[in-house]
Amino acid sequence: DGRSVAARGSVTGPGQKAPLRYEVIWDLATRRPTAERALAALPKVDSVTTDGRTAVAYEVTTRPAGPAEAKAGFPGEYTTDLRAFDGLTGRLLMTIRVPDQFTYHYAVSPDGQTVATVSGRRGAVPAHPMATLNVRLWEVRTGRERAVVSLKAPGHYDPFAIAFSADGRLMAVSRTAGRIEVIDLATGRELVSRTGYESPSYRVAFRPDGRRLASGHLDGTIVMWDVPAPPTVAAMAEALEAAWADLASENAGRAYSATWTLTSSPAAAVTLLGGRLKPADPAVIDRVRTQVATLDSKSFQAREAAAAELANLAGTADAVLRDMARGKLSAEQSARLQRLLDGPAVVRSPEDLRTLRAIETLERISTPEAIALLKELAAGPAGLRPAREARAALDRLADRPAPPRK
């Protein structure tokens, strides 16, 4: 949104054996830092949402090839760790390790709720090392896998770039020999593939309505491709009821499918969600304050129980915890709070997950009725994540370009 700037760096002082690595975020209006933290390493940031609220960084570690592998012509193995951060506060949101040998690319969805990776495992022949090539989708609020889509001909068409459509429904993958595939993430199937321009494409981008795709090629050419509308089949009432239940599931894949089931029937979904969703309960903030106070109890058991309760609330009430951490606390309270804030802001409550996934769905639907419901949810307590995410969804919808004239 142009209101903040972030920087990472390192400095080595006199007598220091290792550099001090750090991150600072400044408010551009006041020119004052709003967040500062030390880093164990300097991760590489390569994907940020347009609104600046979610940034994804990666770190790669290498395992050298063993004697037999080297003799066969295989390289070593690369392990990729991804971390998603709140771009405004620097708060760690998610950390994952991609379960494949090689990770080529990653991207974050426009709403900041999904990270996509393209990764694979090698085959038995060095000339065609990739036996499998997968697009994996990860839920930022839980760090769990939402879906896996296997790409065709993995050993022959290496991926060069990936991109989400504005509504998060489609993903474009550009590959060698000018091949471009568009995947419908609601079904996990290829919607269309395009060939005919053989210069490699290192960048792809959708038009805001998703009906056209631009590919930028090594020879300096930009090619525009038509993209058909993905099929839409309205869900029956029973399926919508099942989707409502699945929104609270620990299984991120089942919950992800539920969001698309609801999206397929916009009017019915908004009616269902409007009758069941409520703004976040302000009593949660009082619970957080009570448990923070208990962290200073003389009883070890009471302190442990309070820490466990706060761990369950941290993903939803992280802003409240940050505010309290800046207040007057005992050493015990401060240390325990800092441990919570240094870890990922994972949402654990099934009901909170249901609400946040419903907000994600309402942003996709984006009808006037869906926007009205988002406004109701945004009126909840500012320190709790549901209200914050509803407001962010409204901001993104307000900034979304109007569809092109036909």
CA dihedral 297, 298, 302, 305 (to 10 degrees): 70
Has residue 94 got a pLDDT over 90?
Answer: no
Q: Which two tokens stand for residue 362?
A: 């309402």
- The whole-number pLDDT of residue 17 equals 61
* CB 184, CB 230: distance < 8 Å: yes
The DSSP annotation for 90-144 comes to: --EEEEEE-SSSEEEEEEE-TTSSEEEEEEEEE-S-TTS-EEEEEEEEEETTT--
Has residue 360 got a pLDDT over 60?
Answer: yes
Residue range 267-310, pLDDT digits in tens: 999 999 999 999 999 999 999 999 999 999 999 999 999 999 99
Who has greater pLDDT, 366 or 132?
Answer: 366
| H/E segment holding residue 333 | helix 331-342
- The whole-number pLDDT of residue 119 equals 83
* CB 303, CB 295: distance < 8 Å: yes
| H/E segment holding residue 242 | helix 237-246
Has residue 406 got a pLDDT over 50?
Answer: no
Give backbone dihedrals phi and psi of 285, rounded to 5 degrees, phi first: -65, -40
Most confident of 146-155, 238-247, 306-315: 238-247
pLDDT band, residue 89 (cuts 50/70/90) = confident
Lowest-pLDDT choice from 64-73, 197-206, 213-222, 300-309: 64-73
Nearest in space to 272 (alpha carbons), one of 350, 348, 365: 365
Tell me how far CA of residue 47 lies from CA of 109, 194, 298, 318, 368, in angstroms.
Answer: 9, 25, 46, 23, 30
Has residue 364 got a pLDDT over 60?
Answer: yes
- The whole-number pLDDT of residue 66 equals 58
pTM of the entire structure?
A: 0.82
Mean pLDDT, to the nearest integer, of 48-56?
76
At 11, is the secondary structure helix, strand, or coil? strand
- The whole-number pLDDT of residue 140 equals 93
Most confident of 5-9, 128-132, 241-245: 241-245
Please give the CATH number for the structural domain made up of 4-226.
2.130.10.10
What residue spans define the domains of the chain?
Answer: 4-226, 237-276+349-399, 283-342
Distance from C-alpha of 340 to C-alpha of 361, rounded to nearest angstrom: 29
Residue 335's contacts (CB-CB under 8 Å, 6 or more residues apart) are: none
Mean pLDDT, to the nearest integer, of 225-236?
90
Residue range 236-252, pLDDT digits in tens: 899 999 999 999 999 99
User: Mean pLDDT across the chain, nearest whole number?
Assistant: 84
Residue 207's contacts (CB-CB under 8 Å, 6 or more residues apart) are: 213, 214, 404
Nearest in space to 116 (alpha carbons), one of 83, 144, 142, 138: 138
Distance from C-alpha of 186 to C-alpha of 188, rounded to nearest angstrom: 6
Distance from C-alpha of 363 to C-alpha of 269, rounded to nearest angstrom: 12
Nearest in space to 24 (alpha carbons), one of 12, 2, 42, 1: 42
* CB 321, CB 337: distance < 8 Å: yes
- The whole-number pLDDT of residue 155 equals 60
- The whole-number pLDDT of residue 44 equals 54
Position 96, amino acid: I
Has residue 182 got a pLDDT over 90?
Answer: yes
